[in-house]
Amino acid sequence: MNLIIDAGNTSVKLAIFKKTEIIHLESVAAYDFVAAVKIIFKNYAKIQFAIISSVGALSKEQMNVLAIFCEVHELSNTSKVPFKNSYASPQTLGVDRLALATAAFYFNPHHNNLIIDAGTCITYDMLNDFDEYLGGSISPGVQMRYNAMHNQTAKLPLLEKVELLDYIGNTTENCMHSGVINGVILEIDGLIDLYKSRFKDLTIILTGGDTLFLSKRLKNTIFADSKFLLKGLNYLLEYNKH
């Protein structure tokens, strides 16, 4: 069994894989990480390996606790990957994006893949049909856009996403919802169209916390999998065992 840990900007996901199947999945706040790990190893004593992908949510002290229970691989830019990395500054590439490209490599090898991770930020990652990672783009995520309007103005309220009834807002709140949600949808569809104009037979993979909310609104055909990053991390753990 493998323990997969994805420490994002807002929470920590812990998944247990039995080969390629997820048999346990939970999300905890960073301050609850150590307690959650202790419970997991009490209930799943056969876990032998773990991988941590952290963008800063966990401290070194928290990560060191995990090494008490099993062998740990901390994902970094020096970790082995199964594809060619052509990013101009690989030392600055987020480890979460390495995991997404790895998941695409195993899910749809030797094809053009655009992976869109709609989380705190929205990242776009391109893996071409030569299994070469090219890069992509990063933009503010849905909630970050709401937060920015509230934090950087005097009177706009702090909102969370809702079902949008009309693209023409008739109140300040509705105008904000329209701007954020339609802005994100048009951005994603527009970028997909740009990539399609350059790469033939492009597979679009949408993942991240806003997967379900966004997938039904996009005009482009996509493959949606909210657990895509976790699957990529499990593949990377297996790839780096040898």
Rounded CA separation 114/101 (Å): 9
The answer to the question of whether 232 is labelled as a binding residue is: no
193 in active site = no
The answer to the question of whether 9 is labelled as a binding residue is: yes
The answer to the question of whether 13 is labelled as a binding residue is: yes
Cβ(211)–Cβ(181) under 8 Å? no
Rounded CA separation 41/23 (Å): 14
The answer to the question of whether 97 is labelled as a binding residue is: yes
Catalytic residue among 32, 96, 193, 201: 96
Task: Say which residues have a Cβ less than 8 Å from residue 139's Cβ, sequence separation at least 6.
Answer: 121, 122, 187
Q: What is the DSSP letter of 168?
A: S
The answer to the question of whether 78 is labelled as a binding residue is: no
Closest among 88, 89, 87 to 101, alpha carbons compared: 87
Q: What is the largest CA-CA distance in the chain?
A: 59
The answer to the question of whether 179 is labelled as a binding residue is: no
Which two tokens mark 175?
Answer: 């105008």
The answer to the question of whether 11 is labelled as a binding residue is: yes
The answer to the question of whether 95 is labelled as a binding residue is: yes
DSSP 3-state of 6:
strand
Rounded CA separation 230/103 (Å): 8
Pairing of strands 21-28, 49-54: unpaired
The answer to the question of whether 10 is labelled as a binding residue is: yes
The answer to the question of whether 96 is labelled as a binding residue is: yes
The answer to the question of whether 145 is labelled as a binding residue is: no
Residue ranges of the annotated binding site for substrate are 87, 94-97, 172
| Residues with active-site annotation | 96
Residue ranges of the annotated binding site are 6-13, 87, 94-97, 117, 120, 172
Residue ranges of the annotated binding site for ATP are 6-13, 120
